[in-house]
Amino acid sequence: MSETMTHDAHHEEHPGGIKRWLFTTNHKDIGTLYLWFSFIMFFVAGFMALVIRAELFQPGIQIVDPNFFNMMTTLHGLIMVFGAIMPAFVGLANWQIPMMIGAPDMALPRMNNWSFWILPFAATLLVAPMFMGGNFMAGQGPAFGWTFYEPLSGQYGHLAFFVFAVHLLGFSSIMGSINIIATILNMRAPGMTLMKMPLFVWTWLITAFLLIAVMPVLAGAVTMMLTDKYFGTTFFIAAGGGDPVLFQHVFWFFGHPEVYIMVLPAFGVISQIIPTFARKPLFGYASMVYATASIAFLSFIVWAHHMFTVGMPVAGELYFMYATVMIAVPTGVKVFNWATTMWRGSMTFETPMLWAIGSVFMFTFGGFTGLMLGVAPADFQYHDSYFVVAHFHYTLITGAWYGIIGGVMYWLPKWTGNMYSEKLGKTHFWLTAIAMNLTFFPMHFTGLAGMPRRTADYPLQFTQFNQLSSVGAYIFGFSQLILLYLIIKCIKGGKKATNEVWEGAEGLEWTLPSPAPYHSFNTAPEVK
């Protein structure tokens, strides 16, 4: 490390301490900031989930009042989506994209700094109302669900805080995306054509375009909410000639691509990990790229499958049903590709591979329930029940979040120069995987039996499965402390990592020393 520092000294100053982090324009520092921010938010939102599960451990209201409960479900969702999952992927992109395409840094380093440092302020604005007013337990924060449907959200007293938090998050995402697109399109090493890019880079390129397309739509939705509340407009207020359903159309036009924004980069990570540990090239590279692009395209034309019960005309329902189930085709292509990549490979099962395989199994399961939800007549029964909660936790935890953890484990030796403890990594994986299924699998049953989501209390026939879910959630939550310990331990020391780190690893990042130098590639490598 000190060698690279002196090497860099002639053209860059490195302030120490807090200034290094405040003013940094280095893609690795910023990646680190993003990842730690995401990790903190993950624990904050995870703690909220534990409050939810504690209250739902038995019927009746024991711990928090319904309004506080609703605030917990709302903030858990919002913080996990905008504070934990999305920043984690931007963190991975910051660290990895320059190293994977043979660039020294990101294309727009100052904007990179800004797009990160907006986030803590956005998070503060989002949670600040919780602490307003005299009585904390009354729940002064947003309590209208992460989908903030009008007109319910319009009844919220501190709406402006929420709206500006979303605006800031949007700025951050858009700037992050511009940076990623500019970097990928302009800074690839000579010889690295688009169709030679690693899949993680491809999935992020497509994700970045999705973000740029939909974040302004979200900003538009919250701005209309703001003017409805404070400036007398009635975009979403029926009494003034507005339309509450319009809100849902606008929200889900953002919301459905958002789902793929959270999961496509994870597909990218899994597509890097599986070939490495199967010691065999990805079965169909080109078809993976096309499948990613198809999923991204389809994500724009299926939004109203989240709103089958709002009373659309039957023709609209039929269209959205057909378009939605179509997504199963490119998603299937991805799963088949991963399975055939493993087939007749020479597999080893280090921690990143466990996360990747776990993800393929369980995300596929979440995909099946997704197909079920896409079938409109059946969706009338599933909609807004715990079945949906089970479905999207299978896609977001075992899809997006498994991808993140798999990626962190995969690249951690490259970042720190040290190997992490396989024993801790595997313990963490298995505890998490078992607890995850214990928590969310029973929710399919409670949902089918008729338990609505977002309720602070429930009829007695749902007791048993809710207790299982609560036990699972606590095991899940506390298992994550192992991950925290593992990462700190790996940063502090451990067995030195080689440049290649993994026996079967291919790609430019593995040609760099471990830990990777401050500026990744000062001279562009040649890609054949």
Partner 1 sequence: MSLKHNNIMTKGLVLLGLWLGGIGSSQAEYKLNFQEPVTAVAREIYDLHMLVIWICLGIAAVVFTMMIYSIINHRKSKGAVASDFHESAKVEVAWTIIPFIILIAVAIPATSTLIDIEDTSDSDLTVKVTGMQWKWKYDYGDGVSYISSLNAEHNRARQRNSGIDVTQIKNYLLEVDNELVIPVNKKVRFLVTSDDVIHSFWMPAFGVKKDAIPGYVNETWTRVEKTGIYRGQCAELCGKDHAFMPIVIRVVSDADYKIWFVRKKAEAEIAAAEASADKVWSKAELMAKGEDIYKGKGGCFGCHGIKGEGIATFPKLVGSAVTTGPAAEHMKTVVKGRPGTAMAAYANQLNDLELAAVITYERNAWGNNASIVQPADIKASR
Question: Which residues, 6+ apart, have CB-to-CB distance to 293 below 8 Å?
Answer: 206
Question: Which residues, 6+ apart, have CB-to-CB distance to 423 below 8 Å?
Answer: none
- For 458: left if phi > 0, alpha if psi spans -120 to 50, otherwise beta; the answer is beta
Please say if 3 is a catalytic residue: no
Q: Which is nearer to partner 1, 284 or 515 (CB)?
A: 284
Q: Which is nearer to partner 1, 26 or 276 (CB)?
A: 276
* Residue 227 touching partner 1 (CB under 8 A): no
- In the complex, minimum distance from the CB of residue 69 to partner 1, in angstroms, rounded to a whole number: 8
Question: Which residues, 6+ apart, have CB-to-CB distance to 451 below 8 Å?
Answer: 385, 386, 458, 459, 462
Of positions 7, 22, 47, 62, contacts partner 1 by CB under 8 A: 62
Distance separating alpha carbons of residues 520 and 187, to the nearest angstrom: 12
- Binding to partner 1 (CB under 8 A) within 428-447 occurs at 445
Place of tokens 């534990």: 50
* Residue 450 touching partner 1 (CB under 8 A): yes
- Binding to partner 1 (CB under 8 A) within 335-364 occurs at 335-336, 339-349, 357, 360-361, 364
β-pair partners for 385: 452
- Which of the following is catalytic: 28, 256, 391, 444? 256
Place of tokens 């940094």: 24
- In the complex, minimum distance from the CB of residue 340 to partner 1, in angstroms, rounded to a whole number: 7
β-pair partners for 452: 385
Of positions 329, 430, 484, 485, contacts partner 1 by CB under 8 A: 329
Q: How many CB atoms lie within 10 A of CB 185?
A: 11
CB 451 within 8 A of CB 27: no
Binding mask 267-286 for partner 1 (x = CB under 8 A): -----------xxxxxxxxx
Residue 378's H or E segment, with its range, is helix 376-382
Q: How many CB atoms lie within 10 A of CB 131?
A: 9
Please say if 519 is a catalytic residue: no
Distance separating alpha carbons of residues 138 and 130, to the nearest angstrom: 9
- Which of the following is catalytic: 34, 260, 338, 458? 260
Binding mask 127-166 for partner 1 (x = CB under 8 A): ------x-x--xxx--xxx---x-xx-xx-x---------
Binding mask 230-249 for partner 1 (x = CB under 8 A): --------xx--xxxx----
Q: Which is nearer to partner 1, 347 or 512 (CB)?
A: 347
Size of the site for partner 1 (CB under 8 A): 106
* Residue 220 touching partner 1 (CB under 8 A): no
- Binding to partner 1 (CB under 8 A) within 304-323 occurs at 309-311, 314, 317-318, 321-322
* Residue 478 touching partner 1 (CB under 8 A): no
Distance separating alpha carbons of residues 77 and 143, to the nearest angstrom: 11
Q: How many CB atoms lie within 10 A of CB 161?
A: 20
Please say if 150 is a catalytic residue: no
Please say if 393 is a catalytic residue: no
- In the complex, minimum distance from the CB of residue 297 to partner 1, in angstroms, rounded to a whole number: 15
Q: Which is nearer to partner 1, 191 or 459 (CB)?
A: 459
- Which of the following is catalytic: 24, 73, 331, 385? 331
- Which of the following is catalytic: 229, 280, 305, 454? 305
Q: Which is nearer to partner 1, 182 or 328 (CB)?
A: 328
Joined tokens for residue 451:
């338990």
CB 257 within 8 A of CB 300: yes
Please say if 379 is a catalytic residue: no
Residues in the chain: 528
CB 63 within 8 A of CB 152: no
Of positions 212, 328, 424, 434, contacts partner 1 by CB under 8 A: 328
Please say if 223 is a catalytic residue: no
Please say if 117 is a catalytic residue: no
* Residue 66 touching partner 1 (CB under 8 A): yes
- Which of the following is catalytic: 167, 280, 306, 519? 306
- In the complex, minimum distance from the CB of residue 213 to partner 1, in angstroms, rounded to a whole number: 26
- In the complex, minimum distance from the CB of residue 132 to partner 1, in angstroms, rounded to a whole number: 9
- In the complex, minimum distance from the CB of residue 497 to partner 1, in angstroms, rounded to a whole number: 20
Spell out the alpha helix ranges (H) of 11-108: 17-23, 27-55, 66-78, 86-101
| CB environment 5-22: b (16+ within 10 A), e (fewer) | eeebeeeeeeeeeeeebe
Joined tokens for residue 29:
């520092």
> Which residue type occupies 415?
W
Give the residue numbers annotated as catalytic, written as ranges: 76, 105, 146, 172-173, 256, 258, 260, 271, 305-306, 331, 334, 453
